[in-house]
Amino acid sequence: MIAKRVIYRNFRNISEAEIEFSPGVNVLIGNNAEGKTNALEGIYLMASGKSFRSPRERDMVKFGESFFEASLIMEDSEREQELYFKAYSGEITKRRECKKNGVTLSKISELIGVFRAVLFCPEHLAIVKAGPSERRSFLDIAICQLKPVYLKSLQKFNKILTQRNALLKQISDGIADESLLEVYSEQLARESAFIYRTRYEYIKRLSEFVKVFFSELSKSSGDDAREVPELVYKNSLKITEQLSEAEAYEHYIRLLKTNTIREIGAGVTLYGSHKDDIEIYLDSKEARQFASQGQQRSLALAMKLGEGEISKEYSGEYPVFLFDDVLSELDPKRQRFLLSKLGDRQVIMTTCTPPPVESDAHFVSVEGGRYLFS
């Protein structure tokens, strides 16, 4: 799958622009604050339905303007498609509009999965050391692009969790009774079980890819160390063998039923998908504690490459790789390794300094929200 062209109007610091991409390596190069990340943000918006920088769509509207428009012309092995996104600034209460091939989509979830991309930013290099919510978000963004039903389940889960937490708080404050709690617990367990099943499978597959990439990376950088990484799904069930969705549901329900008093005491839901994490090990030792910074970065890189492989397994085509200022954060060995792994895929990267790429890469110079093929 490739991004062929992106068209912006009033998007961040871009008044109007049209950027063409080649199917191979594309380099957006320019000084700081010229609009390199802005261009990537708009492309990633088409893959994930939201910005990777701001929770609010209106932040992407150019200062002083009332709306932005972004279009992406993409191509997969079957056909060319056009995705379109329009959102309004704070003063206007109109809802956003999304279109696929000119047809308005009723929900943003219908946009997701059409264009698939793997985003790699400097923050992701710290995924091993980051908090559980960053690792859950890594998982969720990756899986949502592959399974729209997973996104729906997550949305339902979050809604039920909010309601259930509010109820628990009211019960603990003595202003509500427990009659509704059972209904919420059942719904929460149902979504948690589906999410459990999906995350379990994803992490298991990802762990296999991480093993391969980590070992290749160690070899290519001449490391003597031959540690073996493993990713383990940590969840409230605390059961290591793989459960079916029905079994997971039974376990979640039991946990919620037998811990009602604790939960009322705490005033929040203590069991469910919001407590999940990925534990990352190197030779059975927790990587966040024991791995060197270099090893942690290699693990992060292997996870990102693995994300791309799973996406390809799922749909038969590689996603587009978006690297925001990430290459300059890596030492030359890791840079070379990463680039060598991306030979036949489309990469769109941003950078301030010329990267070590082949001379046939497609360079676009970025200046003040303008993009010139150079």
Ligand X SMILES: Nc1ncnc2c1ncn2[C@@H]1O[C@H](COP(=O)(O)OP(=O)(O)O)[C@@H](O)[C@H]1O
Check residue 63 for interaction with ligand X (CB under 6 A): yes
Question: Least separation, in Å, of the C-beta of 56 and ligand X?
Answer: 10
Using CB under 6 A, pick the residue from 15, 16, 33, 286 that binds ligand X.
Answer: 33
**Which residues inside 112-151 make contact with Mg ion, applying CB under 5 A?**
none
Query: Looking at 12, 116, 124, 274, which residue binds ligand X (CB under 6 A)?
Result: 12
Q: Kindly tell me which of 37 and 235 has the beta carbon lying closer to ligand X.
A: 37
Task: Report the alpha-carbon distance of residue 266 to residue 171 in Å, rounded.
Answer: 11
Is residue 37 within the footprint of Mg ion (CB under 5 A)?
yes
| CB nearer Mg ion, residue 36 or residue 199 | 36
CB distance 365 to 374 below 8 Å: yes
Judged by beta carbon distances under 5 to 8 A according to partner kind, the member of Mg ion, ligand X, none in contact with residue 374 is none
- Which DSSP category does 351 fall into? E
**Contacted entry of ligand X, Mg ion, none for residue 32, CB cut-off 5 to 8 Å set by kind:** ligand X
Cβ closest to ligand X, residue 91 vs residue 344: 91
Determine if 30 is a binding residue for ligand X (CB under 6 A). yes
298 binds, among ligand X, Mg ion, none (CB under 5 to 8 A by kind): none
- Mark residues 323-352: x for contact with ligand X by CB under 6 A, - for none: ---------------------------x--
Q: Which token pair is 10?
A: 């009033």
Beta strands in the chain (DSSP E): 2-11, 14-20, 25-29, 67-75, 80-88, 97-100, 103-104, 117-120, 229-234, 277-282, 285-286, 320-324, 347-351, 362-367, 370-373
* Piece in contact with ligand X (CB under 6 A), picked from 36-44, 98-106, 199-207, 247-255: 36-44
Shortest Å distance, C-beta 30 to ligand X: 6
Per rule CB under 6 A, is residue 34 in the interface with ligand X? yes
Q: How far apart, in whole angstroms, are the C-alpha atoms of residue 246 and residue 252?
A: 10
Find the binder of ligand X among 1, 8, 25, 38 (CB under 6 A). Answer: 38
- Termini Cα distance of the chain: 24
Cβ burial of 25 (10 Å; 0-12, 13-18, 19+) is buried
**Residue 53: strand, helix, or coil:** coil
- Closest alpha carbon to 288 in 128, 140, 145: 128
According to the binding rule CB under 6 A, does residue 37 interact with ligand X? yes
372: amino acid identity, one letter:
L
DSSP 298-327: HHHHHHHHHHHHHHHHHHSS--EEEEES-G
CA-based R_g, the chain, Å:
22
Please select the residue that binds ligand X; options are 35, 113, 229, 272, rule is CB under 6 A: 35
Residues that bind Mg ion (CB under 5 A): 36-37
Residues that bind ligand X (CB under 6 A): 12-13, 30, 32-38, 59, 61-63, 350, 366
